[in-house]
Chains A and B, each alone.
Chain A
Amino acid sequence: MKSRFIASLLLGTALTLAAGGMASAGDKVVKIGALSDQSGLYSDLGGPGSTLATQMAIEDSGLAGKGWKIDVISGDHQNKPDIGTSIARQWFDVDKVDIIVDVPNSGVALAVNNVVKEKNGVYINSGAATSDLTNAQCSPNTVHWTYDTYMLAHTTGQALVKAGGTSWFFLTADYAFGAALERDTTAVVTANGGKVIGGVKHPLNTSDFSSFLLQAQSSGAKVIGLANAGGDTTNSIKQAAEFGLTKGGQKLAALLLFLTDVKSIGLDIAQGLNFTETFYWDMNDQTRAFSDRFAKRMRNGAPPTMVQAGVYAGLLHYFKALEALGENPHDGVKVVDKMKSIPTEDALFGKGEIQPNGRTIHTAYLFEVKKPSESKGPWDLYKLVGSVPGDQAFTPLDKSACALLKK
């Protein structure tokens, strides 16, 4: 009993517990759980910013003025699938959460995916890269917003081969995510007439890449594909500059790079890097307006990353579906079906749709990091070099391994 007391005290959910208790089929009460990495590797791209994006989505939806009661709780999965699933379970069972958003880290994302399906909730994943969420492990309760490994590999790979990067060498993080990125990129490279002449797998969280970079350098490949993430990517970019790879005419392709990563490397070293994202704060007036409001409320004044933008846009779409239903049926599959039936459109990602496998389709952009001389502000980091329409960037439905498609 004591720990239950502590629980309610700590989470400050005494009120919401009561609210959840009253929730029955069909009302206007919604409870959102923002589950993210609040303190580890991914906390910059998701974390507190995703919770803020959630709050902004609620405010901007204007539902509170229409008699809806919407609450948010946030949690830290600490990048452990165990903790992720137990928080998710508790949210559904005790706190009566309807929807879980964000969840970076593929391992945790897939684990939570199973819980949401079991509890028939709604799951809008924006933070995880794994394309398994809409393929082998797809679920009728899940919408995968923002990006996945297939899209990243496809867009960056195709663009660079077409720009003359015909021979590739991979630096791959030795785990499932890295392997998936390398596999998908290899497919694109060879399909477009390029070839992969070598690669090396490095352990996760390597601090020194010089050995691998030397191997990449002596391979003579035109493009060095970085199939890794976070600190591994930033360190390999930094050290590639040190070893003079880019000066020697080789091009770096970061297959997964976020705004916060580029910021942390600095333009001096990152300039000229090519990579793919689906959202950048400085795209148009609407994204700038949103990002201004967002940055003002962030502790460090940072504009939103694409993951945080995805949380916001995904939730707005969710609210649209709820409004169309007229009430919250507390039935995950029903709400997700409704979400799939309405085309998506918002200020951040533009027009798109949610496919039957749960994949959200929107335009993907190819960016290049600006030279220090081109940058006009602390966050003025990218220039747009190309875009790929959503239906070409993401997995075509006939190639998706999702069981939902074989009804």
Chain B
Amino acid sequence: MSQAVAGHPILDPVLAPTFPKAALPILRNAQLRKNVTHATDVIQAKRAKLVAEKTDWQELRSAAAEIRAHALENLGEYLEQFEARCTAAGGTVHWASDAAEARQIIVDLLREEKASEVIKIKTMTSAEIQLNPAIEAAGIHAYETDLAEIILQLGEDEPSHIVVPALHVNRSQVREIFARRMGIKDLSDDPQVLTGAARNYLRQKFLKVPTAISGANFLVAETGAVAVVESEGNGRMCLTLPRTMITLAGIDKVIPRFKDLEVMLQVLARSATGERMNPYTSLWTGVTPGDGPQRFHVVLLDNGRTSILAKPKERQTLRCIRCAACLNTCPVYRQTGGHAYGSVYAGPIGAILTPQLMHLEHAQTLPFASSLCAACYEVCPVKINIPEVLLELRAQVVDQERKQADRFLDLMYWGLRIANQIFVSAWRFRTAQWAGRIGLRFFTGKDGWIHWMPSLGARWTVSRDLRGLPSQTFRQWWAARAKEAK
């Protein structure tokens, strides 16, 4: 869909470079890393405080995990229920099997509205299907209304975080973007002044543009309601002023009952932004005459989700409520930020979700973009065992590699195959220990340490020394001691 623009991060998993390649320029970008560290530190501290005050946090997590798991186990039933209730309340439900179909449905709806402009509430799903370029190609201009999304749209940048998309941009950079794109002279970097500038820019759009697009945090099967949570109230403006609302939602967003929101909203707000409750929680059910949008469409998007649903170990991926707590705590994400993941879904959840949405035809390096430290699993409010899914996907990627003719060009691949042949036999293992000691002696310095190794070893010695192999293995010492004792 979208083409790579110079200086523009590529968030299309089909076109994106591998994770290690994409991470490299970011690791060299001191400003971006500082921004990411600062922002994730702030959110994490707020989250930790609010989780700690909740004495039943683990029970809440379990309840949230169960609600989501149950909804997924019975997804077909709940989706049909949602469709029936939403339709009865005056909404129109559309089904899209993939990104192209969803884009087409939305563009057609906008054409029916004779829209030349559309305002948008922050929606990651629209970025997943690369909706904005499709809308623009149809001659319709899309205006983002979430403050972070405005920064990215005006700065010709891409989101790097699920909840805080412009997390990698600091306020002096925001000042520069606003001053340049809004044509404001003498703009200070005071947050209030910057927000004021955004407000002036947005108010005109809210009052003038009659068509809006939103995502959804939850779809309530029982009532047909759609829920959106946000912090700024811009979403609320989009939900009240326009004539027509189009909501794009993944089919995984459904929850069974209205009262399930009690649990879900608690864990979401605390996990996502470290707040007890979201500042703005909007719920709407179909159309209410004389109040809010009078035409309402929901586009339910599959785009690979049912194939994830079909796999028992991977299914838990779809429990995700996009709180991004796993990103904030991830020691990898904290170094690389979001763009390295080449997808709108960054961090640990992105590392498992994106390759699956791509049917593992792309983004195969993402499951390896983790040290398996499990910090993500620990904070996940719906208990997705991300390390378990990472391992499952790694095995699938390796199984793909086993069928490739060029697999033996990959040093890591045949290294591991040979290592296995060594590990399944004690005498081969002893021989390898002996050979390793002889081989590494050549690279061992006078201080007894290895400072450089060739080939794959150089990837270790790039930043780490390795102590040279000792002259006696443990098993040799044990054998010698046993002999002496006799």
Decide whether A and B assemble into one complex: no
* Chain A residues packing against B (C-beta within 8 Å): none
